A and B are shown apart, each in its own frame.
Chain A
Amino acid sequence: MTRTLRELRRYPSALAGLAIIGLLVAISVYAVVAIPYGEAIRLWNGGEGVWQRTPRNAWPAWLTVFPGVHLSRTVVVSSTGTPRREVDLGSGVRQITMALPFDFPYQSFPQELAVFWDTSYTDKAPQVTLRWRRPDGTETALAEIAVKPSDSYRISSDQPLQQAVGGRPEVALFADPRHPDQPLRGRYELLIRGFLFEPASHLDAQLVVYGQGYGLAGTDGQRRDLMIALLWGTPIALAFGLLAAVGSTVSTLVIAAIGVWYGGWVDGAIQRITEVNLILPSLPILIMVSTLYSRSIWVILSLVIVLGVFGGIKGNRALFLQIKEAPYIEAARAYGAGSLRVVLHYMLPRVVPVLVPSFVTLIPSFVFLEATLAVLGLGDPSVPTWGKVLEDAYHSGALFVGQYYWVVEPAVLLVLSGLGFTMLGFALDRIVNPRLREM
């Protein structure tokens, strides 16, 4: 074992592979520790409530390090805590005037504008007038609306406003009059005048100026931070690949050993099952099961193992048959070793080192299988995996609208994990299989 590790050092590809795997493991550990599973699921499936403040389809914000790339960030201004003027107009009616100021220093327009209300009342909803003040002093009237609790006013989707300002609000409200294709940088203010009709009602507002860039990985069409799926996809991919590889390798090994050792009809039966299994199309079966029965990731994992077990038997059987004829096995029988002892202590230790390389290269194939199923729409919808991200991207036509990051990020991770394991696996193969070895 130690000899193998020492030999690995001679192969740069193995070291690169190990480094990549180490990186993936580190990411997995971080993901599991920083965002516990329950939390991750909650976030991923959270919906509007969780992701309200994040922009939709935002690019990764760090891309601005590249020259010529301008991505505006999200600015959130809240009225709680800001000074307001309250004027009592009599008969329970109060007028509240608030200003929500913010600085806009970016060179590209925001993506979306929205105002979220926090209010309470019993019968009559407050009435609000909104005005927009730009850094150059110009003001625009936005709207006059009634406000409900947990309601939001989507400035960007306001059709009359669009017609009034002659274009999309998030552009028109920010455009520099001298250079209309660039936003005017400086201090903006949202002026709110609200009329409260009940003494107990209150009014607070939050303005969200959605940026074009967000976070390390950007967001998807449902405003979800893709980092969650990328981070959590790692341990899930590794775990799926590892469990599937271990499950199928161990099962294959045991069944092949039993078949070879006992021979006769046992071996014959196993061979016939193997041959039938070779003809069975596993992907269509997986599709069938997940469409008609269940898409739970555990069901899929078990099915993948079951379908994979009999596939590898022929190769292992060949190995075992070779080993069975080894003189030392004969010698063991001559000094009285029983069948079980021979299989466990004499045959398996001979086979296991030879299987390690193929085991290692098996892991990414299962990772890819899971991703394939997800892309086909058969993945577990509640679990954030790389394949799921790809599926969402595909369904949203991400490539057609230029949202490359949505596709590239999970793809890169898939390729990286495949690369890491296969490089390690090939190097191990050269160590274990003497004929491939270099002198």
Chain B
Amino acid sequence: MTPTPSETFVIENLRLYFRTHQGPVQAVDGVSLTLGRGRTIVVVGESGCGKTSLGRAILRLLPRNVQTYSGSVWLNGVDVMALPEEQFRQQVRWTQLAWVPQGAMNALNPVIGIGDQIAEALLAHQKADNPLSARRAVEEGVGQVGVPLDFLDRYPFELSGGMRQRLVLAMALITHPDVIVLDEPTSALDVLTQANIMNVLKTIKRSTDTRFILITHDIAASSELADDAAVMYAGQFVEVSSADQFYREPLHPYSQALMASVPALRGDKPLAAIPGQPPSLINPPTGCRFADRCPARFSKCSEEPPLFSVEGRLVKCWLYEERAHA
């Protein structure tokens, strides 16, 4: 694969399989995406589709029972997947690639003041020479997320959920990484707080070049940040397109069904459920993995479709075979 311009963040054919007693769990099964400078892609999917594993795979935060971990992740012209673990830890993780995991606001160290925790990320990666300059960087970072400075000496339990989530964001931003992966950053928050956090993210997006990968099941919330959208089902991307195209006209039957199942506050939209359940990631079915729940299923679906390129969008569905070649 020819290396792409160093401005682009590219994931190629990422695979992550876990070894379990019941067999290998194919959590991430050949995922590819491209993210230009300053752009945000949302990965939308329901529980069990492998989206959290995708985040882990990108950050190389792997558990012990990994069976297969392959693919390439191109960042700044370098395939960081090929780097040895220690080099990855020092040079890439958190300095170029940062992560806000699900429930991060509840995972803050309860016995360390919040300012010190944020500074820790700096000091661990030798981005600050001494605690004083670290402190100044922290204050700047915290101002960026809209938290008053006097909160820096408090402990996590003294702060509300929304405040903690902002500080976790500050922690991810403090080293000015190129890419930040956010896993369900607002799911546990109330509507007003969620809107506030989204405002913060939008502001950061506008003022920096940071690329965001937002992983969520909340389609409505994902539209707040998306420049591009990818839909994940059973470990694979079934549709990748720009936000404008995706939210207005989803192509893949699963994307359409998902859109149809999301209630809208404004306008009159009938709701429809998707029958059946997503397939298990252990021994996924051959052929199209959505086939047995798909209303448009036909004979060719017993064979796994490739990701067709349709007018600049990617769809993993036989229904678009002709449009792709047109």
Residues of A within 8 A of B (CB): 10, 438-439
Contact = CB atoms under 8 A, between A and B. Distances in A.
A10 B20 CA distance: 13
A438 B64 CA distance: 9
Contacts of B21: 10, 439
Nearest to A439: B65
A420 B20 CA distance: 28
9 contacts: A10-B21, A438-B65, A439-B18, A439-B19, A439-B20, A439-B21, A439-B63, A439-B64, A439-B65
Interface in B1-24: 18-21
How would you classify the secondary structure of chain A's contact residues: helix, strand, loop or mixed? Answer: loop
A439 B18 CA distance: 9
A4 to B, nearest CB: 14
Nearest to A7: B21
Interface residue tally of chain B, by bracket? Answer: under 10
Contacts of B63: 439
Interface string B54-86: 000000000111000000000000000000000
A10 B18 CA distance: 19
B12 to A, nearest CB: 27
A439 B19 CA distance: 7
A238 to B, nearest CB: 33
Contacts of B65: 438-439
A279 to B, nearest CB: 27
| 6 nearest CB pairs, A to B | A439-B65, A439-B20, A439-B19, A439-B18, A439-B21, A439-B63
Contacts of A10: 21
Contacts of A438: 65
Contacts of B18: 439
B27 to A, nearest CB: 12
Interface string B150-165: 0000000000000000
A439 B65 CA distance: 7
Contacts of A439: 18-21, 63-65
A266 B251 CA distance: 63
B19 to A, nearest CB: 7
Nearest to B22: A439
A439 B64 CA distance: 9
Interface in B73-132: none
A358 B65 CA distance: 27
Contacts of B64: 439
A76 to B, nearest CB: 63
Given A10-B21, A439-B64, 4 more contacts: A439-B18, A439-B19, A439-B21, A439-B63
